[in-house]
Chain A
Amino acid sequence: MNIGVGYDNQKNSFSCGVSVAEKASKCFADAEASFVFAVCCNKHDHESYYKGLRSVLGDSIPIVGGSAVGVITKDDLSYEGYPAGAVVFQSNTLKCNVQWTSGLDKSVKQVGIDIAEKTEWSDKTPLFFFYDSIKKAASESSPPVMNSSVPLLNGLVNSLKKNITIIGAGLIGDFSFSLGKIFTGSEVVPQAAVGFQLLGDFEIQSRIMHGCTPLDGVYHTITKAKGPVVFEVDSKPIAKIIDDIYGHKLWRKDNPVTLVSLGVNHGPRYGRPEEKNYLNRLIVGALPNSDAVMLFEPDLSKGDEIQFMLRDSEEMIQSVKTNTETLFSDLTNEGKEIIFGLYIDCAGRSKCMSKTDREEAGEVQDIFKHQNIPLFGFYSGAEIAPLLNKSKGLDWTGVLTLFYR
């Protein structure tokens, strides 16, 4: 199987699409591409970019993907300017099954159900699943309204007749949470979700990169919440508790809140904290004129026990390095040949959002560069990967998926 990656950052969306497609398909000359996963930022006109890709790759090949804040490849990393990229698979034996549906703005759960029921999904390979994260764009007076991964995945997982690993992302096209688009394989559609499976002479394994650790280990109970909005913890306004943690109120202007998140420990209550046991929830922002906060996902409710989590950039970078190296060594020790890496990285982990000196994704790039293996990644809103044996919507994580033989 040939896998080519293309990246460009030019302003003209159509030309950008042409350039990305040409770069990605360069390595397999005249052979017809089999499958494309492509993204572009929201500064681009998605339709023009899509047409640019099509003009090079032809009309029949499925092009799946959509909005992304930025693009990560082995050699490039950018969320500034007009980033766009694609990975093109070419194989005579590759089989792909692509299904999509729209209507996230009407019923998120139904979209999950529809995707599950559209086809007989295989349990031999993961189901890649991508959806439009933003239901309503952020405005000056309120944070954005998100399409929640919880009912979506519930709808999807519960309707799948088999236990299938789901890997994917909620897509966003910029840091200001404007409305995005989904490439469904054959169209450019808003408020949509797309699922696909790739079946070929390869296997797939993924790992979650964390970066959040318990702030102080103290357990708190949510005492008032509605949907994604948490009002009170331990019967105290949550924003006031966070004010106390920071020592100021400046954090309330951050969208999302960059240092503190909420975590649910699914591991031993008083054991050594293991990041793989934690489900973290990103705080999108403080609600204006209120002491409540809005979470990226609405899956925390009254009575849930949470811990305040600290997103420590150094630990995040260390986690990426360690996990990537471990995954690589595990597979190579088993005599596997890694042929491609897909890195779905939370936009909040980027250097500009983490306020770090270096890019966390740089650690992933370094390893792929060193091994000279194609890498395609992008910055997302929410990540989907199996946590504690169940596919969940995740925040603040990076999900590295390796294709190997």
Chain B
Amino acid sequence: MKMSDISNNDIISNSQATSIQKQELEYYRKLAVQSGKKRVREIDLLARLNTELNETKDKLQYRVELDKKVAEISKRFLELSEDNPNYTIESALKILAEFYNVKHCFILEVNSDEQKVMINHAWCWDEFRSTLQPSVIHPQVCDRINEIFTDTDALSFQDIKSISDRVLHCLNSGFDTKTALMRPLFSDGIMCGFLGFEGFKSLIWNNEDIAFIGTISDIFNNAMERKRLAFVQEKLEEQIQIRQRIDSLGSLAGGVAHDLNNLLVSIIGNIDIVINYDSGIGEKYKNNLAKAYKSCQRAASLIKELQAFSKGTVSKNTTLDLYTIAKNVFDILDRTTHVFIEKKLCIKADSFFVHGSEDMLHQAFFNIGTNAIHAIEERGSRPDDYIRLSAEKYRISCADETGLPAGDYIHIIFEDNGIGMTESVKAKAFDPMFTTRRSSFKGQGLGLAMVYNTITQNHHGAISINSTVGHGSVFHLYLPAVENIEVPEENAEINSSGGSETILVVDDDQSVVDLIVEVLELYGYSVISAGDGEEGWQKYREHRADIDLVLLDLVMPKMSGGEVFDKIREITPDAKVILSSGHSENDLHQVMNVTGYLTKPYDLQKLTQTIRNALEHE
């Protein structure tokens, strides 16, 4: 009740009036209190809403600022100079360090090959620059960090401290670091480093910051991936150049080999004639000539090896004695690498046979051998250095670590006592383009990849590596074993008697022609000779009826041996033709259906025997 509600005419007592006044006062008091509270609560609500609004505004503004930084940094990487990517990365680190006002912003790169974590990119204020040193974190620490990252987006200062002081050492933080944050960088899902911050003042890294740093980390990942790809591309280009040089060298070697073979035919043949047909020569000189003959054979062997490297084709699959391949490879390594590295070939001839390509296996063994030699040289040679190849029979009856099906295999053990491999190097050893060597001339990272392909794909075998850093490596090769099926030599029967038939000799090397003519005439044959393909074809047409056999050089000017052969066979399908060449055997076998092949250099026995066999060939 209020005073205004009381009419003047109302009759009230004094006590009633006092009571009414008290009630009225209480009423107004309550009203005032309630109004006061209402005001406070409304203003408080408005103030708190205003605070929230301001906080949201601040957050949005901060986010806009972060987005601007992302754009600024992204722009730098879009314009990333291939000439100097490090500068771009470091200038981006500067932007981040200045933005967060930290002492030091850096990228730790994990170099798993060398088991190191290095600060490879960093930016810090000039006043702290003197404290910035390249540092290394032990890989175990890195593994621990990796474990922690399964639960969190970024490592805080406390996290880093809890892992190891070595991390802080790495940061060169010392005692006065108040804030540190590390965010992992990934490449193909594998952690390849960290983006880190270190400062002297405490900072609160909120979710926006962590997300922002995550985005920046992705940009850095991308940049570093680009840098890596640029490196790979550079290596590929180097490799292409080297490949081209090797190809040129191969062509040159092939040509030289051809010419040398022709010369050797003449030298060997003439020595043969003197030894066998000159009765006037003394025994002492015969011995001298015999030595010269052997030297020529060794030269022929060397030229064959040279051809094996220069040719681009692969030999067909045959049954192979592993000893022959290994011996050949070890002989080459023995001649071409450090004499102090002992080459131990611990298998015997006719012990282990496989079915495969001689060329490919030769190359595979050679690659493992050179890899082993490099592993020793990397460490620095010692008197007890060695590479060793041994083998044993290996039967698989149930699934084992080789993953090969049941059967009989040959287990080849190729070992060295070189520098050895780390687990990570071992894991990547067969990856194409992976190399631990700095010099491009020492390896392109394809050698072991090719070995892997040869053994597993081409020969259905398996390969694995055991290695300990500092104690060498052991390559285990498993190849399906085969029984040696004795293939009778094509010309096993020695039939080197002469005859009276007419033979057309076509060769562009006059010394070879002269020698063959002399020898064949000694053996009673009639000989017609020609100095190139055109002349040969012409003489064949002229004396077609008289000619019993054509001895045809493969590579000649004007018209090749192959073309002459085709023309002869056109007009005389059953003509007997022997193809001869100073090029590789493979080149000869490109021409099909000839009566016989003669690979230069050959001795007189081989010449006369092949001719006789061909003449008697039905």
Q: Which of A244, A258, A312, A356 contacts B37 (CB 8 A)?
A: A244
The size class of the interface chain A forms with chain B is: 20 to 34
Decide yes or no whether B242 CB sits under 8 A from chain A.
no
Decide yes or no whether B605 CB sits under 8 A from chain A.
no
> Which residues of A are found within 8 Å of B50, using beta-carbon distances?
355-357
Determine the distance from Cα of A310 to Cα of B48 in the docked complex, in whole angstroms: 16
Residues in B24-80 with C-beta less than 8 Å from chain A: 29, 32-33, 35-37, 39-41, 43-44, 46-48, 50-51, 54
Q: Which label, helix, strand, loop or mixed, suits the secondary structure of the B interface?
A: helix
Contact B40 A217, beta carbon cutoff 8 Å? no
Contact A247 B43, beta carbon cutoff 8 Å? no
CB distance from A132 to the nearest CB of B (A): 25
Contact B43 A215, beta carbon cutoff 8 Å? no
Determine the distance from Cα of A250 to Cα of B50 in the docked complex, in whole angstroms: 16
Could you count the A-B residue pairs with CB atoms below 8 Å apart for me: how many are there?
53
Contact A310 B40, beta carbon cutoff 8 Å? yes
Residue-wise interface mask of A (309-339) relative to B, using a CB-CB cutoff of 8 A (1 in contact, 0 not): 0101100000000000000000000000000
Contact A245 B48, beta carbon cutoff 8 Å? no
> Which residues of A are found within 8 Å of B39, using beta-carbon distances?
215, 310, 312
Contact A218 B40, beta carbon cutoff 8 Å? no
> Which residues of B are found within 8 Å of A247, using beta-carbon distances?
37, 41, 44
The size class of the interface chain B forms with chain A is: 10 to 19
> Which residues of A are found within 8 Å of B29, using beta-carbon distances?
216, 218
Contact B40 A355, beta carbon cutoff 8 Å? no
Contact A246 B41, beta carbon cutoff 8 Å? yes
> Which residues of B are found within 8 Å of A312, using beta-carbon distances?
39, 43
Decide yes or no whether A294 CB sits under 8 A from chain B.
no
Determine the distance from Cα of A392 to Cα of B576 in the docked complex, in whole angstroms: 134
> Which residues of B are found within 8 Å of A244, using beta-carbon distances?
37
Q: Considering the complex, give the chain B residue whose CB is closest to the CB of A311.
A: B43
Decide yes or no whether A50 CB sits under 8 A from chain B.
no
Determine the distance from Cα of A397 to Cα of B508 in the docked complex, in whole angstroms: 117
Determine the distance from Cα of A247 to Cα of B43 in the docked complex, in whole angstroms: 12
Determine the distance from Cα of A245 to Cα of B51 in the docked complex, in whole angstroms: 20
Contact A245 B36, beta carbon cutoff 8 Å? yes
> Which residues of B are found within 8 Å of A310, using beta-carbon distances?
36, 39-40, 43
Decide yes or no whether A308 CB sits under 8 A from chain B.
yes
CB distance from A7 to the nearest CB of B (A): 22
Determine the distance from Cα of A218 to Cα of B28 in the docked complex, in whole angstroms: 10
Determine the distance from Cα of A244 to Cα of B46 in the docked complex, in whole angstroms: 18
Q: Considering the complex, give the chain A residue whose CB is closest to the CB of B47.
A: A355
Determine the distance from Cα of A251 to Cα of B37 in the docked complex, in whole angstroms: 14
> What 5 A-B pairs have minimum CB-CB distances, sorted nearest first?
A216-B36, A355-B47, A215-B36, A216-B32, A216-B33
Residues of B within 8 A of A (CB): 29, 32-33, 35-37, 39-41, 43-44, 46-48, 50-51, 54
Sampled A-B contacts (16; CB under 8 Å): A214-B36, A215-B39, A216-B29, A216-B32, A216-B37, A218-B29, A246-B40, A247-B37, A247-B41, A250-B48, A259-B43, A260-B40, A310-B40, A354-B47, A355-B50, A357-B50
Beyond A217-B36, A310-B39, 17 extra complex contacts between A and B, CB < 8 Å: A214-B36, A215-B39, A215-B40, A216-B32, A216-B36, A216-B37, A218-B29, A245-B40, A246-B41, A246-B44, A247-B44, A258-B47, A310-B36, A310-B40, A310-B43, A313-B47, A355-B50
Residues of A within 8 A of B (CB): 214-218, 244-247, 250-251, 258-260, 308, 310, 312-313, 354-357
